[in-house]
Amino acid sequence: MIRLHHLRIGRSLFTLWQLEELGADYDLTVYLRDENFRAPAALKEIHPLGKSPVIEDGDLILSESSAITTYLLEKFDKENRFAPPRTQLNDWARFTQWLHYPEGSVFGPLLIKMLLLRGGEHAGLETFSAKEIALHLGHISNQLGANDYILGSDFSAADFGVAYVASLADRLGQLDANPTLKAYLARCMQRPAFARAVEKGVE
Ligand SMILES: N[C@@H](CCC(=O)N[C@@H](CS)C(=O)NCC(=O)O)C(=O)O
């Protein structure tokens, strides 16, 4: 059975949510952050990077949220409920673009903003992160348009990562003037599977 090594407060909640959406059988090991908000050393015993999410499935130890999503889809989404089949090549390629975009492009500027809010000062980084955050949040909002989810009217596995960066942007006060993304985030969080993930992984 799959085991998710879940660090409280962070992106692995979104992997937990995915396991719930997929109806997968899984076990959970929960880790608490230390006084510096870092992962405890115990996570390094699972994977050398000591970060979360990490899943264990037999002798497979897998890190990186988008790789985990791809693996879980292969394993539990045979009916393509959460991603287009690879035979629809263009749709599948667009799906993978939105699957990798949050971690690959959006997270970095948000991380800079988070560090600056925690007490750093750096004019160049302020300008860079403000511009990049506006660019990416604008891009995501445009893609959403009047749709409920990032690839259209149906929820897909690309929404896990997009909802994660939207939630981080919200925590950093970056969605106050963005009703489209606020509503999108609320819509994702109202899904019953998300509520189950919160119950198991947060409380
Ligand atoms: N690129 C990785 C990032 C993993 C990551 O940095 N996870 C954070 C939690 S959100 C973490 O474990 N931080 C604790 C630490 O670095 O001490 C992914 O997509 O999974």
DSSP secondary structure of 15-43 = HHHHHHHHT--EEEEEE---TTSPPPGGG
pLDDT by residue (tens digit) across 153-187?
999 999 999 999 999 999 999 999 999 999 999 99
Give yes or no for a contact between 56 and 71, defined as CB atoms under 8 angstroms apart. Answer: no
Amino acid identity at 118: R
Residue 34 Cα to ligand 1 middle (Å): 14
- The verdict on the CB of residue 53 being under 6 Å from ligand 1 is yes
Residue 53 Cα to ligand 1 middle (Å): 7
Q: Is the pTM of this model over 0.85?
A: yes
Residue 46 Cα to ligand 1 middle (Å): 14
pLDDT by residue (tens digit) across 11-60?
999 999 999 999 999 999 999 999 999 999 999 999 999 999 999 999 99
H-helix or E-strand spanning residue 3: strand 2-7
Residue 117 has pLDDT above 70, yes or no: yes
Confidence of residue 203 (pLDDT cuts 50, 70, 90): low
Q: What is the mean pLDDT of the chain?
A: 96
Does the domain spanning 2-81+192-201 belong to CATH 3.40.30.10?
yes
- The verdict on the CB of residue 64 being under 6 Å from ligand 1 is yes
Give yes or no for a contact between 65 and 49, defined as CB atoms under 8 angstroms apart. Answer: no
Gap between the Cα atoms of 172 and 162, Å rounded:
15
- The verdict on the CB of residue 161 being under 6 Å from ligand 1 is no
Q: How far is CA 112 from CA 12, 119, 166, 203, in A?
A: 20, 11, 15, 28
Domain residue extents for the chain: 2-81+192-201, 89-189
pLDDT by residue (tens digit) across 28-39?
999 999 999 999
- The verdict on the CB of residue 132 being under 6 Å from ligand 1 is no
CATH of 89-189, picked from 1.10.8.60, 3.40.1190.10, 1.10.238.10, 1.20.1050.10, is 1.20.1050.10
Average pLDDT over residues 192-196: 98
